[in-house]
Structure 1
Amino acid sequence: MGGKVLIVATSATKLLDGRDTGCWVEEVASPYLLWTEKGLQVDIASISGGAIPWDEASTSGDFYTAEAKKFMEDDKIRSLIEQTRSVKDVLAGGVDQYDAVFLPGGHGIVFDGNNSDLKALLEKFWNDGKVVSAVCHGPAGLVYAKDASGDSILKGKQVAGFSNTEEVAVGKEKAVPFLLEDRIKELGADYKKDGDWTPFAVASGKLVTGQNPQSSKKVAELVAGILKV
């Protein structure tokens, strides 16, 4: 069985304190490469459309992984990430063709959760029984989405996401509108984590989440398993 996944990246570029932010390359690259290698079709969209803004920290040093380099140096992929469709356009065209949606992190996505188009997109996927997945700060994009009964889609689920200690370690705990670990717990989810910077992901029904950039491949593997590829 094959399938089709929609990746939705942030379009946000600034933290509360004015520092630059964006999407984290590794968190798009590893899932994209794993899924396409397994025969899944993958589309990449962003909140506002156009070129995805990248967090510069994700394109240097140890954070710029082999998968990230392969992804960014592929001409075909570059054309996809420089000309993404907006979430509004994706919704207008319908999402019945997709089996899963995935939100990569980077601090930018923390500012996107209350976007009405993203909220509508996620609720459509969730209430149609499709896979909803996210990694690192990506679960921040899920915090406003509701199920058919009006509860958070995170309520009662096991959920991973960037931890408070990891946020403090990168010095951005005061530069985001909320701490993700705290918000996940406030929504009635069972927050799960491993040690800082340790790969960790959890599937709770058709909700798949991971803790940090190191967890992107684990999330992708869990999604592929649910889609039976």
Structure 2
Amino acid sequence: MPSVLFVFTSTPKTLSGAQTGWYLPEAAHPYYVPAPHATIDFASPNGANPPVDEGSVKMFENDPESLKFLANETVKAKLTNAKKLSAISAKVNFCLFDLPVDPVNIKLANEARLQFYHSGKIVSAVCHGVAALVGITDTQGKSIFAGKNVTGFSNAEEEILSKNKDVPFSTEDRIISLGGKYTMADKPFKASRSIDRASLED
């Protein structure tokens, strides 16, 4: 059975001091896709009990998959016993990252690059999650975004939510600065998907 690793942030506050954490539906919705077919582990830089974004819990209080995720005893145990990133090997796990500046995450992501990206397997991210891939380079030392079609949370969406001062950098600007061909939907918060070679962003 294949192994899947969900990597959660350990950061409880934004740069402005607002409460934050992992975003509920971005864990809950993907979780049930591989769950019947794979062994799933949870990890974070600090290990056990990664903080959840309380605002996302409130916002999705009527979302069936989110409610199912929060009530799932297996999920609760995985969060309580989440592994430290330093104990993870990319050789045995497929990784979903949301941690762009954590040195252990960057090391693990680059190991995953060797195991997955260069062998033609899918590298994917959702929303701000694409920011976790900004430290990954190809065999020539170039960003894996260079020349690729990429999407992610846009500047317009950050401005609408007044979150510009809460994040360390703009996902859209960083993708472009690394040579990525940033794309987005015709309206903020509308679904957008970009696929290029073995990468997939949503």
TM-score normalised to structure 1 length? 0.80
The structure 1 residue matched to 2:177, chosen from 186, 193, 196, is: 186
Q: Name 2:188's counterpart in structure 1.
A: 196
Q: Name 1:95's counterpart in structure 2.
A: 90
Code of the aligned partner of 2:63 = T
Per-residue Cα deviation, 1:161-183 (whole angstroms, up to 9, x for no partner): 10111111111112211111111
Code of the aligned partner of 1:101 = C
Q: Which one is further off, 145-154 or 113-122?
A: 145-154
Q: Secondary structure at the match of 2:125?
A: strand
Q: Name 1:7's counterpart in structure 2.
A: 6
CA contact (8 A) 1:158 1:191 kept: yes
> What RMSD over aligned residues (CA atoms) do the two structures have, in Å?
1.7
Pairwise CA distance, 1:140: 1.2
Q: Name 1:120's counterpart in structure 2.
A: 107
Per-residue Cα deviation, 1:142-194 (whole angstroms, up to 9, x for no partner): 11222222111221222111011111111111221111111111110111211
Q: Secondary structure at the match of 1:35?
A: coil
Q: Secondary structure at the match of 2:27?
A: helix
CA contact (8 A) 1:58 1:64 kept: no
Code of the aligned partner of 2:38 = L
Q: Name 2:145's counterpart in structure 1.
A: 154
Q: Tell me the distance in 2 between the aligned counterparts of 1:157 and 1:64.
A: 37
Q: Name 1:27's counterpart in structure 2.
A: 26
Q: Tell me the distance in 2 between the aligned counterparts of 1:183 and 1:74.
A: 36
Specify whether residues 203 and 47 from structure 1 end up closer, same or farther in structure 2 by C-alpha distance, changes over 3 A only. Answer: farther
Q: Tell me the distance in 2 between the aligned counterparts of 1:62 and 1:6.
A: 23
Q: Tell me the distance in 2 between the aligned counterparts of 1:24 and 1:171.
A: 17
Number of residue pairs matched by the alignment = 197
Q: Tell me the distance in 2 between the aligned counterparts of 1:182 and 1:45.
A: 28
Code of the aligned partner of 2:158 = E
Q: Name 2:51's counterpart in structure 1.
A: 53
Q: Tell me the distance in 2 between the aligned counterparts of 1:46 and 1:177.
A: 19
Aligned residue runs from structure 1 range 133-152, under 5 A = 133-152=124-143
Q: Tell me the distance in 2 between the aligned counterparts of 1:58 and 1:137.
A: 14
TM-score normalised to structure 2 length? 0.90
CA contact (8 A) 1:125 1:132 kept: no
Q: Tell me the distance in 2 between the aligned counterparts of 1:193 and 1:128.
A: 29
Q: Tell me the distance in 1 between the aligned counterparts of 2:82 and 2:156.
A: 33
Q: Which runs of 5+ in 1 are unaligned?
A: 104-108, 211-229
- Bigger RCO of structures 1 and 2 (CA < 8 A, at least 6 apart): 1
Q: Secondary structure at the match of 2:56?
A: helix
Q: Which runs of 5+ in 2 are unaligned?
A: none
